[in-house]
Amino acid sequence: MDLAHGRSESNGHGRLARRALLAGAAGLSAGALVGRARSLAHAAVSAAPAGHVPHGVELRGMYLTSRNRTAEGRFGMMFKKLPPYAPSDDLLRGLSESMVEDQTVPDDSLLNTNPRLFAGYTFIGQFIDHDITFDNTPLAQQEADPYATTNFRTPRYDLDSVYGRGPALEPQFYDPADPDKLLVTPNVHGVPDVPRGGDGRAIIPEGRNDENLILVQLHQAVARFHNRLVDHARAQGIRREWVFETARRLTRWHYQWAVTHDFLPRFVGDALVGPNGTVYREVAGRPPVLTLTYYRPTNKDGRPFMPVEFAVAAYRFGHSLIRPFYVINQSTSDRGGVPVFGADGGFNLNGGRPVPPDLVVEWKHILPVDPAFPARRPRRIDTRLSLPLTTLPAPVVPPPDPTVHLAVRNSLRGKAVGLPSGQQVARLMRAPVLTNAALGLSNDPGWGGEAPLWYYVLKEAELPPTNAERLGAVGGRIVAEVLVGLLQRDPTSYLYLDPAWKPAPPIAPATGQFGFVDLLRFAGAA
């Protein structure tokens, strides 16, 4: 492998009673796996460090599309010519409040049956989301442009959520004894962890990655992967001044490869992303063939933006994957699983604290690390959310919006940003158009024969032929085109700099084969 290949970048050197516990835990401390308040809360954003979005604060610029449907700032519309769909709030609330798992059926019947899906991919999806929506725009520019009409920091999955601005500009994220490496250090419990302040919170560029204990340990694993690549680069004789950039580039490229070749096909299917994919298709000995029909930025610079159809609807399929309990090691298995939410500092997955010894992730429990070990599955992709997501606590529902049901928040936010209906998008895509009767909606004339896009994406996935195992035609196409399109326009990506590049040994198990399990293995985390 030619480690020095590629352009240089800027030098930024007793089992629990599940149902009973859920009823009590649902109203305690959640985390931003759940949604954020509709209010922009500019004062809270202004008080936070650049790149850190506090709980309950909506992402800057998300409501630009409600003011200008054709604008492309930090956010924009993918389907600009489709009109907004605006059923009454009462209809949206009634539908959304019904989107709850049946508490009387066996837990196993609620699990995804796709043999390629495992519970850990829920958190990989969240990590990707935080990476592409990470906003490190300088504070003065954020305050001057609260609607993010200017896209100072285009959405990319380039891991600046892990690297920040590099060791020269943000040394607090790096090892003072070896600044080419990210800082991974034992915490107060003696457990390997990210650096933390006196309040226990992580000192990392993207504070949202500290919102639950699985996610922050994934962040740490990516840091460890980079550090192993630093050692690898040095062993290959890379010049000292190039070591950090070489390791960062390889970390980014392997991560990006894992998104396009591991994460995406599991959720959108090989027909869209795979050897014969219609959006991303590998060709032997040549660069991949991309076909982007709907995600096509029209601004004069061709700068990518985050489509609200993706951010507020299609990619929120991840909310339906969340389990109320997770088994992440043998200790949690013996205790019937650890609740996803609970009282701060307790036996739960709440972040914002040093990783406790009994909640260290053994990745084989939630990812296919060991073929002989049955890793846990996520929930089905359907219109039913786990009970803890239906009663959100005060930290994620700040005034003036008192809504505590995640589905209600998602649905009202979709209306607020001006999303088109699901059927409108399906017709434009020439995909099968599902009627409201097929979607299980009431015949209330207030629907106008249409359905909210987020609900449509979930119900489409739930019905044949995908049967709640993966996304359907509309949802899958939006997710595939946006993630592939962002990579295509990222000047640091392998697809931009060296589209014929492929992972190779010793980092990958074989040339062209690399996924998130391989990342964990090379990092020494699995």
Instruction: Give the pLDDT confidence of 72-105 residue by residue, as tens digits.
Output: 888 999 999 999 999 999 999 999 999 999 999 9
Q: Which of 57-66, 111-120, 178-187 has the lowest mean pLDDT?
A: 57-66
Share of the chain above pLDDT 70, in %: 83
Res 66: pLDDT: 83
The C-alpha atoms of residue 495 and residue 408 are separated, in whole angstroms, by 38
pLDDT band at 402 (very low <50, low <70, confident <90, very high): confident
Residue type, 310: F
What pTM did the predictor assign? Answer: 0.88
pLDDT at 396 over 80: no
Mean model confidence pLDDT for the chain: 86
The beta strand positions in 219-376, using DSSP E, are: 273-274, 280-283, 286-290, 306-307, 325-326, 338-339
Res 342: pLDDT: 84
Res 74: pLDDT: 86
pLDDT at 270 over 70: yes
Three-state DSSP at 273 gives strand
- Residue 458: which residues within 8 A CB-CB, separation 6 or more? 317, 320, 381, 382, 383, 475
Within a 10 A sphere around the Cβ of 149, how many other Cβ atoms?
15
pLDDT at 54 over 60: no
The residue-averaged pLDDT of 488-503 equals 94
The residue-averaged pLDDT of 27-49 equals 31
Within a 10 A sphere around the Cβ of 238, how many other Cβ atoms?
18
pLDDT at 37 over 90: no
The residue-averaged pLDDT of 286-301 equals 91
Res 300: pLDDT: 74
The residue-averaged pLDDT of 411-436 equals 97
The residue-averaged pLDDT of 5-21 equals 36
How does pLDDT run across 114-124, given as a tens digit for each residue?
999 999 999 99
Res 394: pLDDT: 60
CA angle 108, 112, 118 (to 5 degrees): 105
* Helix 89-97 vs helix 406-417: crossing angle, to nearest 10: 150
The C-alpha atoms of residue 197 and residue 76 are separated, in whole angstroms, by 36
pLDDT band at 284 (very low <50, low <70, confident <90, very high): confident
By DSSP bridging, strand 178-182 and strand 280-283 are unpaired
By DSSP bridging, strand 178-182 and strand 185-186 are unpaired
Q: Which residues of 85-102 are buried (b: 16+ CB within 10 A; e: fewer)?
A: bebeeebbbebbeebbbe
pLDDT at 511 over 60: yes
pLDDT at 161 over 80: yes
Strand partners, 421: 452
For the residues of 196-225, what is the DSSP string, one character each? Answer: B-TTS-B-SS-GGGGSBHHHHHHHHHHHHH
Q: Do 264 and 480 meet the contact criterion of CB atoms below 8 Å apart?
A: yes
Res 33: pLDDT: 31
Highest mean pLDDT among 146-155, 394-403, 477-486: 477-486
For the residues of 168-187, what is the DSSP string, one character each? Answer: TT-GGGEETTEEEEE--EE-
pLDDT at 63 over 90: no
pLDDT band at 299 (very low <50, low <70, confident <90, very high): confident
DSSP H or E segment with residue 110: none
Tell me which of 318 and 44 has the higher pLDDT. 318
The residue-averaged pLDDT of 443-459 equals 97
Q: Which of 39-48, 133-142, 158-167, 210-219 has the lowest mean pLDDT?
A: 39-48
Share of the chain above pLDDT 90, in %: 73
pLDDT at 202 over 60: yes
The C-alpha atoms of residue 212 and residue 22 are separated, in whole angstroms, by 17
pLDDT at 233 over 90: yes
